[in-house]
A and B are shown apart, each in its own frame.
Chain A
Amino acid sequence: MKGLRAPVHAAALLVATVLALGSSLSSAGVLPEDRADLLYHRYDGGGVTIDGPSLLVRKKFLEQFSVAANYYVDMVSSASIDVITTASPYEEERTQYSLSVDALRGKTSYSAGYSNSEESDYEANTAYLSLSQDLFGDLTTISMGFSRGWDTVRQRDVDGSGVDPNFEERTDRRTYTLGLTQVLTKNMILGGSYEVITDEGFLNNPYRTVRYLDEVGVVARQDERYPRTRTSNSFSVRTRYHLPYRAAVSGQYRFFTDTWGILAHTGELGYTHPWGSRWIFDGKLRYYTQEAADFYSDLFPRQDALNFLARDKELSTFVSSSVGLGASYEVPFKLPRFIKKGTLNLRWEHIWFDYEDFRDTRVNAPAGSEPLYQFEADVVQLFASIWF
């Protein structure tokens, strides 16, 4: 039987947008560097292992343009708590292709891109446009962007052999983004971003159920039922400061709220320290906390207790905190003539997830008195980069 799945599908389309925007818009008047990165990523925690490659190549052409292409794979092997309590472990593969073009005209840069992600029961597409402009002696960069996403949700057969021909749903998504990057001093830069995302369509997971107490007090299950619309607002500020010696500290805060009642805060602190001419070390701390969606409950008091019903732990009240370390090494050996520089990079992050209203139903205890669920995850990235 096809099991329950983490909501990884559409979220991954982020990759394309960040690749195109994140790299290029900190200064509108310059195109991003020509470089290629080959990354191996691995996430391991809570009974879920996801690994795979990501290849990103970016190249300028005709002096005013830059094109980037990304190939990304998630190979999922899941025996998460959701899966083992209500379904069977499963394996899945998701493949994503992204293409973007940047164009530079004076102090304005334009970006356009498209991304497609496919797995056996989910297809996601995103197209976007954005522009950014340098102002005030290039101390300020403002940017705005719009993206449109359209997904197709399918459902695997009960025996996992194919897709149910009677189930096909659609989700549409629009994203509006405003951004600002400001040079404050010769040592300090500040960034701000505001993003509105609206979704419409089938937004829940077709495999997940909620649990409730029936008339005689026995635990029973029914399908999740989400609203068909969601609008979220997020606002973030971040800063980076160059210390008197060659090192940098960074900080970031994000506020998030949406029409489902989720309210979240994210904070991050970082430190970057070069060592010699070839090494750069990074360290970071991250803290995330959220309040549950209005229609989330670990155990509903009866069947159809609310119009909408969810028991997805990503919609519950929880805290996640993480610590990360990274090292980059510029290789000393001679590279082919067309390569200017090459680096080898290793990054590791450890995350603790502590849920406040999601209970561990693997434990045999009266419903509603099981211990709260928690787990830890390791995220490893190993990648090689070349500049040409």
Chain B
Amino acid sequence: MTAMIRRKLSIVAILLGASLLGGCANFEPWVKPYERERLADPIMAFERDPVSAAYLYHVYESREGARGALGSAGGGCGCN
């Protein structure tokens, strides 16, 4: 009995996993590529001018105890 339940649960898990993976393959972005005009506007950039952003972070980090996690995704400070 227990083995049967385990087998059924396994089948359910496999089906669930497969449907989730299938969902990834057929992922429909809720913001379509042709709807990204505003996101692509330069005024929407987190750092429009990297040379300026880097300098300002340097000004802050030189005078404050905190450091890191101020850049874009992945951007930060390898330093201090």
Contacts and interface: CB of A to CB of B under 8 A. Distances in A.
A185 to B, nearest CB: 6
Interface in B13-62: 24, 27-31, 33, 35-36, 38-39, 41-47, 49-62
Q: SS class of chain B's interface: helix, strand, loop or mixed?
A: loop
Contacts of A183: 31, 36, 39
Interface range on chain B (Cβ under 8 Å from partner): 35 or more
Interface string B57-80: 111111111111111111111111
Contact of A181 (B35, B72, B76, B78): B72
B20 to A, nearest CB: 13
Q: SS class of chain A's interface: helix, strand, loop or mixed?
A: strand
Given A143-B73, A262-B65, A262-B66, A13 B54 contact: no
Interface in A322-350: 328, 345, 347, 349
Given A37-B49, A139-B30, A185-B31, A192 B64 contact: no
Contact of B51 (A14, A56, A250): A56
A22 interface: yes
Interface of A: 6-8, 10-19, 21-23, 25-26, 32, 37, 39, 41, 43, 54, 56, 70, 115, 124, 126, 128, 130, 132, 136-139, 141-145, 147-149, 173, 175, 177-181, 183, 185-187, 189, 191-197, 199, 232, 234-236, 238, 240, 242, 246-248, 250, 254, 256, 258, 260, 262, 264, 266, 272, 274, 280, 288, 290, 293, 314-315, 320, 328, 345, 347, 349, 353, 379, 381, 383, 385
